[in-house]
Chain A
Amino acid sequence: MTRLISSARALCGLSVVWLTAGCGDRPAELDVAFDAAHKEIKDPADPTRDLQVRGLTGSVALLDVNLNQVMMFTSPKPLELATTRLPVGKDVVQFETSREHDKLFVLSRGVTPRYKDTDERPQLLVFDGGTAPQQLQQVELQDPYNELEVDPQGEWLLVHGSGGLVSNPNELLLVRLGEDSGATPSLTSKTLGSYGGKPLRFTFTSALSVPGVAKRRLLVVQREKDLAIIDLSRPEDPEITVALPENKTPLDVVYHDGIDGEVNSMLGVQLDAYANVDLLTINAAESADHAFSVHPNLVDVGGVPSKLDFVQTRKDGGLRLAALVPLKQAAKLIDPSSGVAQEVPLHAAFTQIRRITNDVSEQSGEDIALLYGEATNTIAFWRLGITTGTPYHSIEAYDIGIKVGQVFDIPNDQSDEFADRKILSGTSSGTTQQFYVLDLTQQKSFPLDVLTNLTLNLSPNGRQLWAFGTDRGFAQLTFDPLQPASLYTEERIAFVHDFATAADDGSRSVMALHVLSSRGHSSVAATLFDGVNPSTAQTQFYAELELEGVK
């Protein structure tokens, strides 16, 4: 009897072992549907539109929000696609790239509220955007934040906007990324002193000269009634608060490194609905608390300016703050040392100015600026300099078919061959939509007709442009020769981006991303083309990409 019971027990035990062996290894991710993550469109020029996708130098990153992962699509060689999944934390609120598109930044709030120590913390992650995606850095945060500002020079990230029950909008977290991508980023928490205002916008300056000390970069925090200036070389120092006249709200801040023997580094502040601009001169320190001091000077420009920029009217000198005043159809050139403003009549009510001197390799030292605006079909090249009778050399105006809303710079991180080109896009008055390729060197503009209003995405290599809508067609535009090529996919397009393959032979792949509907959820597919010589007849279609890495 005892033997019988033992045998029965052994049989039961064996059954349990079998059952256990047979259960439980199905990836839990398979039970989680894929839903394309969307975001609010803040920048009309953003080629990703409302989709949480980012184009990088060697990959395309797509947020898989239901799995708290990012799918990094890379291309081992043209027409081939590989997927790498990397965790990004729970409740992603920001999904941004560096200006060069070589890094991806992801800010997540983690589990809120955190009832357990094991609940995930808010974090900021940095990923390599190259052909071998990987997490580079991780910063765990004490509290959840909603906003992320990316330094155009790639040295700093600014985290702010905590979303707790009670939050301090003037609390900023400065994250220094450093040159060593593997190093732990340094974190500086700052709470700005406030007179009631909260941050609206942030400006990272380039390195500015300061009398008596080394050059340093500044972070200018534009608040509702004042500016807070943070010395990025000593971020733990107290900030310098600059009150604005009549409690006006700043709209924009421009900066200049100054000119030896003429003027110190300067900030120019455009104020909302105010006919004065605030010129802030960076002078030597007046106390031990700061490495510099700031001296404001208010200058009347005779009307509400729409845009400011610093320009030079002669080589190694002649610094002026140019302020466009559309109502007067004029620009004001303000001498920062004297505060005297000189009026320059313009051909049209230009609202925007873009200094393009570096893009055309001007040797004279005089700046050249591009004038444009959404209220006029005219663009103009403004050659600064002083000639007899006028405070400028020339203004050459051209009528084009669109009212320019956005000017795209050609990326020059990988090649500056076409750095002298600009892409102008905006609203068209006619039935045919257009965008323009501007050759700054030759001062020529080339119209390109498009059938529908297209989204433009410049290649990170600065050699081509992709134009796409929401239908099944898109176009490649090479800059030399200026030649558009129409390409077609068999599914609707959500995003187009080209990136380097891992073959390291200069080959590229261009990916047309499709977000398809599947049983009430989404599915990701892609059509891959050769990124250099794409052809509709030579493609590879990849479906069900949301399964890659989890199946």
Chain B
Amino acid sequence: MTRKRLSRGASRWLGAATCAAALLLGAGHARAQAPDAAAAPPTDPHALGNHQKNVRLEIGARTQFVNSHGFDPFSTNDVLPQLSLGASFAFWKQDRLSLAAMAGFDYGGSDASLRSDKASLDVRRFTLAPEARYHLLRVLAVTARVGPTLTREAAEVQGALGTMLKTGWKFGVDATAGAALELWGYENGASGKPRLWLMGEGGYGWTAPMSLSFKPEDESSVPQRLTALDLGELSLAGPLFRITAGVSFW
């Protein structure tokens, strides 16, 4: 029941995040037409400056297509949707190329009927990765990121004997490439005002398999010597897409 609420909560967060990003971007686009009076005069008005070197906070949605048989009990369409949060710090730059340290957290889940039962999966993924950025334009950069992940997977089956659980922490790796478009921000790279970004990326995510051998949540209430329900192995591996909106500072 707790997991059900969390899963629905994640969906609501995804919707709210998307709406908030859209409103923010719409409003921001209008305001960015005025010059930044507070900005210090740049030494080179065409330098990338804070367009490139910044701290960026992101919120959005991550969608992964998981083809593992172990995922079938939890999903009718092999899609694992997640709320995606991220923070990055671009700490090094050389001409149009820059490097950022990125930390991310993805949260989501999926549930489906399992004949007479109900199966649900809750996934929380932590990512730490370097991200390479190359500015094609002042407001457009292509990005590439490869980094390790640590994922907490909580699978649950609600059936005739109550709730059966299987949880685990699994290492993995995400490799993505994409683009970041600055939607709003002062042209002057020296401006310290926030900038709004829209990021899109795609790639592949892999998480080490977890055995889906279920044990009852309350073992005292089920028959002695219960044979664990075995649903095989779950490997959250597959193509992924992420779309986020972000705001950068310096």
Query: Is A522 close to B, CB under 8 A?
Result: yes
Taking the nearest CB of chain A, how far is it from the CB of B249, in angstroms?
Answer: 32
Partner pick for A541 among B69, B73, B225, CB 8 A cutoff: B225
Bound state CA distance, A69 and B66, in angstroms?
Answer: 29
Q: B115 to chain A: which residues have CB within 8 Å?
A: 29-30, 32-34, 521, 546-547, 550
Q: With an 8 A cutoff between CB atoms, is A24 at the interface?
A: yes
Q: Say if the beta carbon of A23 comes within 8 Å of chain B.
A: yes
Q: Is the CB of B160 within 8 A of A25?
A: no
> Which of B88-96, B97-105, B227-235 touches A?
B227-235
Establish whether residues A22 and B78, one from each chain, have CB atoms under 8 Å apart when the complex forms: yes
Chain A proximity of B101: nearest CB distance (Å): 28
Known contacts A30-B72, A517-B160; is-contact A523 B116 (Cβ 8 Å): yes
Any B CB within 8 A of the CB of A489: yes
Give the residue of B67, B77, B117 whose beta carbon is less than 8 angstroms from that of A518. B117
B20, CB-defined interface residue at 8 Å: no
Closest B residue by C-beta to A542? B227
A541 touches B114 (CB 8 A): no
Tell me the A167-185 residues at the B interface (CB within 8 Å).
none
What distance in Å separates the Cβ of B123 from its nearest Cβ neighbour in chain A? 16
Q: Check A27 for interface membership: any CB of B closer than 8 A.
A: yes
A276 interface residue (CB < 8 Å to B): no
A417 sits at the interface (CB 8 A): no
Whether B223 contacts A547 by the Cβ 8 Å rule is: no
Residues of A within 8 A of B124 (CB): none
Are the C-beta atoms of A26 and B116 separated by less than 8 Å? no
Q: How far is the CB of B229 from chain A (nearest CB, A)?
A: 5
Chain B residues with Cβ under 8 A from A21's Cβ? 65, 67, 238-239
Number of residues on chain A facing chain B (CB within 8 A): 39
Q: How distant is A542 from chain B, measured CB to nearest CB, in Å?
A: 5
Tell me which residues across on chain A come within 8 A of B210, comparing CB atoms: none
Contact B116 A551 (CB under 8 A): no
Q: CB-nearest residue of chain A relative to B227?
A: A542
Q: Is A491 an interface position by the 8 A CB rule? A: yes
Q: How far is the CA of A18 from the CA of B204 in the complex (A)?
A: 10
A352: min CB distance to chain B, Å:
42
Q: Which B residues lie within 8 Å of A543 (CB)? A: 159-161, 222-223, 226-227, 229
- For residue B188, CB closer than 8 A to chain A, the reply is no
| Contact A544 B160, CB 8 Å, known A23-B65, A30-B112, A30-B113 | yes
A25, A522, A540: the one within 8 Å of B116 (CB): A522
Distance of A518 Cα from B118 Cα, bound (Å): 10
- By a CB distance below 8 angstroms, the chain B residues around A22 are 65-67, 78-79, 238-239
In the complex, B213 has a CB within 8 A of chain A? no
A544 touches B224 (CB 8 A): no
Which residues from chain B contact A518 at a C-beta distance below 8 Å? 116-117, 159-160
Chain B 203-243, CB-CB to A under 8 Å as 1, else 0, gives 00000000000000000001111110101100000110000
Using Cβ atoms and an 8 Å threshold, which residues of chain A touch B160? 516-518, 523, 525, 543-544
Assembly CA distance A33 to B62 (angstroms): 31
For B78, the closest partner residue in chain A by CB is A22
**CB atoms of A540 and B65 under 8 A apart:** no
A515 — nearest CB in chain B belongs to which residue? B160
Q: Is A31 an interface residue (CB 8 A)?
A: yes
A81–B117 Cα distance when bound, in Å, is 21
Contact among B75, B78, B114 with A547 in the assembled complex (CB-CB below 8 Å): B114
Decide if B158 is an interface residue (CB 8 Å cutoff).
Answer: yes
A540: contacting residue among B69, B72, B227, CB under 8 A: B227
Judged by a CB distance under 8 angstroms, whether B76 is at the interface is yes
Set of chain B residues within 8 Å of A527, measured between Cβ atoms? 223
Give the interface centre of B66, B159, B227, B231 by most chain A CB atoms within 10 Å. Answer: B227
Docked pose: A522 CA to B224 CA in angstroms: 21
Bound-state CA distance A523–B117 (Å) is 8
* Nearest B residue (CB) for A67: B115
Q: A19: CB under 8 A from chain B?
A: yes
B164 to chain A, nearest CB (A): 8
Q: Assess whether A546 is in contact with B116, with CB atoms less than 8 Å apart.
A: yes
Is the beta-carbon distance between A519 and B65 smaller than 8 angstroms? Answer: no
List, in ascending order, chain B residues with CB within 8 A of A33's CB.
Answer: 113, 115-116
> Do A551 and B225 have beta carbons less than 8 Å apart?
no
* Chain A: CB-nearest residue to B157: A544
Q: Are A541 and B158 in contact, with the CB atoms below 8 A?
A: no
Q: Does A416 sit within 8 A of B, measured CB to CB?
A: no
Chain A residues near B238 (CB-CB < 8 A): 18, 21-22
Instruction: Give chain B residues whose Cβ lies under 8 Å from the Cβ of A521.
Output: 115-116
Report the minimum CB–CB distance from B160 to chain A (whole Å): 4
A490 interfacial by beta-carbon distance below 8 Å: yes
Asked whether A491 and B159 contact (CB < 8 A) given A21-B67, A23-B77, A551-B231, the answer is no
- The answer to whether B116 and A490 have CB atoms under 8 Å apart is no
A26-B77, A541-B225 known, 6 other contacts, Cβ within 8 Å = A19-B65, A23-B65, A516-B160, A518-B116, A543-B222, A551-B231
Cβ contacts A to B, 10 pairs, < 8 Å: A21-B67, A23-B78, A30-B113, A489-B223, A519-B158, A523-B116, A541-B226, A543-B222, A543-B227, A547-B117
Q: Ordered nearest first, which 8 A-B pairs have the shortest CB separation?
A: A22-B65, A516-B160, A523-B160, A521-B116, A490-B223, A518-B160, A541-B223, A518-B116
